Amino acid sequence: MLNQLKTPLFYLVLIASLGFAIFYFFLNPQTQIGNESNQGMSTQALFTANFSDENSKPQPLKQYEGKVVVLNFWASWCEPCREEMPELSTLHTEYKDRNVVVLGMAIEDVAAINDFLKETKVSYPLFAADVQGMDIAASLGNNKGVLPYTVIIKSDGTVAKTYFGRITKPLLEQTLKTIL
């Protein structure tokens, strides 16, 4: 009888562990707050980079220096990334007159972005960063290598806050209110 209980118990523990992992890494945004966790993060690699937009036109990211940047690392195959994009679009539209810009850094190529844009309208600039995007995300604190990953950069170029996992507009606005 004990042997008959071992297999279902194993699967129950496995399912519970997977559920926790999904919640922790994908559904529950985790933040890094304050200067201590943001020490060592540099926006230099970001603002010296050039990435292609959805029209395959190289864009210097230096053009966004001096603005408050909500930088979202995403991929079209990432469901939480896709779910947060309408809120990011709304945020971009509502805050663009306040020196705030939302930027989408796709860990994909231009073709994948264009396929995605056939299905979903996005009001903010999207860039094809491919593998180099994950290097920049790592330099900005993404030590877990997960998507989505969002960084709020102050107008002086310092990192205000980072978020692992799916974010919401109200969550981002909490940080924006403190730095605008």
Instruction: Report pLDDT digits (tens) over 51-61.
Output: 999 999 999 99
**What is the structure's pLDDT at 174?**
95
Count of residues for the chain? 180
Summarize pLDDT for 77-113 with one digit per residue, the tens: 999 999 999 999 999 999 999 999 999 999 999 999 9
**What is the structure's pLDDT at 42?**
83
Q: Enter the pTM of the model.
A: 0.80
Higher pLDDT, 30 or 164: 164
Higher pLDDT, 172 or 24: 172
The domain 30-179 belongs to what CATH superfamily?
Answer: Glutaredoxin (3.40.30.10)
**What is the structure's pLDDT at 40?**
60
What is the layout of strands, in order, in the sheet containing 50-52?
30-33, 159-164, 149-153, 68-74, 100-106, 126-128, 50-52, 58-60
When pLDDT is averaged across residues 25-36 and rounded to a whole number, the result is: 45
Percent of the chain clearing pLDDT 70 (strictly above): 78
For residue 92, the number of C-alpha atoms closer than 13 Å in the C-beta half-sphere is: 20
CA–CA dist 134, 60 (Å, integer): 18
**What is the structure's pLDDT at 41?**
81
